Amino acid sequence: MTLRVACLGAGYFAQFHHDAWRRIDGAALIATADHDPARGADFTDLGTMLNTVRPDILDVVIPPTGHLAAIRDAVAAGVAAIICQKPFCTTRAEAIAATDLAEAAGIPLIIHENFRFQPWYRAIRTAIADGRVGDLHQITFRLRPGDGQGPGAYLDRQPYFQTMARFLVHETAVHWLDTFRFLMGMPDTVYADLRRLNPAIAGEDAGHILLGYGDGRRAMFDGNRHLDHAATAPRLTMGEALVEGTGATIALTGDGALHLRRFGDITATEILPASDRPGFGGDCVRALQAHVVEGLTKGAPLENLARDYLNVLTLEAAVYRAATTGTRQKVQADG
């Protein structure tokens, strides 16, 4: 069985979606749509594409302002599944409306949150589950892409970054809010300190987020888009991470490799080598899309379903409240 896929969007990041679909067994990219004719898509109108090609999967790769309408059109067209890029919709109310709409129609709505599908985070999760770090105490990620300096920041790739009123958290840190959930579960508390360092942009571009767990574990996001890290391709991992436990520490370096140092030792052992993987971020786009194909064709459980992803929106809202009030915020899982 080959699933027929149509993509809405032909902008910068859509190229990674298109390329990944072409490399997945059991799926075929049959059409693309984009409102801008200059981008060379097959259609300029979603409705026309849906009615003409009748895809099994609609992959929505456009900004949040168009998500709810696209999901509504896809549900009306009776697609088998919808994948939607993050950030998911423009407001929580819109996200809930889209989720309710898809669930009422019995159509899986999967949010394309791909960082948890990066190979280093899959390997870290396995190492934690296997007890290789002992009792986990803390995971820290230092975001250092080095792309945020000066008046021309982001203009060559995603210029709308400059005008987003909420930027570092809403657009970027949500990747790690979800990844921390993937590795550690839903936290109980959130604290944040956010800053805007580049006067050329509207939103915040640096800050700290601390997630607290009732059992004493912590997750720390330390983000600064002005600073870099040691990597020939800074956007591969976007920074560096430490996973610290009573038995060992795992370090993620900018080349995508993982090194495990046992407690008390000086030297570390490589447990995941660096690799020249195709696509974006360790080929995480393909990994997520292949996961959806497997779920639809083989009945495997799907990650990132919209109802569960509302938890990331809960955490995002708590981060902004914490930063505004200067107080720790309690959070509770949705559903």
335 assigned to some structural domain:
no
Number of domains in the chain: 2
Q: Are 268 and 261 in contact (CB under 8 A)?
A: yes
Question: Within a domain: residue 278?
Answer: no
Q: Which two tokens stand for residue 242?
A: 């430490």
Q: Are residues 122 and 215 in the same domain?
A: yes
Q: Do 124 and 259 share a domain, yes or no? A: yes
Q: What is the pLDDT of residues 287-299, one digit of tens each?
A: 999 999 999 999 9
Q: Are residues 248 and 132 in the same domain?
A: yes
Alpha-carbon distance of 98 to 269, in angstroms, equals 45
Per-residue pLDDT of the chain (335 residues; tens, 9 = 90+): 899 999 999 999 999 999 999 999 999 999 999 999 999 999 999 999 999 999 999 999 999 999 999 999 999 999 999 999 999 999 999 999 999 999 999 999 999 999 999 999 999 999 999 999 999 999 999 999 999 999 999 999 889 999 999 999 999 999 999 999 999 999 999 999 999 999 999 999 999 999 999 999 999 999 999 999 999 999 999 999 999 999 999 999 999 999 999 999 999 999 999 999 999 999 999 999 999 999 999 999 999 999 999 999 999 999 999 999 999 999 998 86
Same domain, yes or no: 242 and 126: yes
Instruction: Examine the domain organization and report whether 158 and 73 are in the same domain.
Output: no
- Please indicate, yes or no, whether residues 136 and 221 belong to a single structural domain of this protein: yes
Do 89 and 146 lie in one domain? The reply is no
Q: How far apart are CA 71 and CA 59, in angstroms?
A: 10
Has residue 269 been placed in a domain?
A: yes
Residues 58 and 126 in one domain: no
pLDDT in tens, 5-31: 999 999 999 999 999 999 999 999 999
Mean pLDDT for the chain? 97
CATH of residue 199's domain is 3.30.360.10
**CATH code, 55:** 3.40.50.720
Q: Domain range spanning residue 21?
A: 3-112+286-304
Task: State whether 262 and 144 are in the same domain.
Answer: yes
CB 81 within 8 A of CB 56: yes
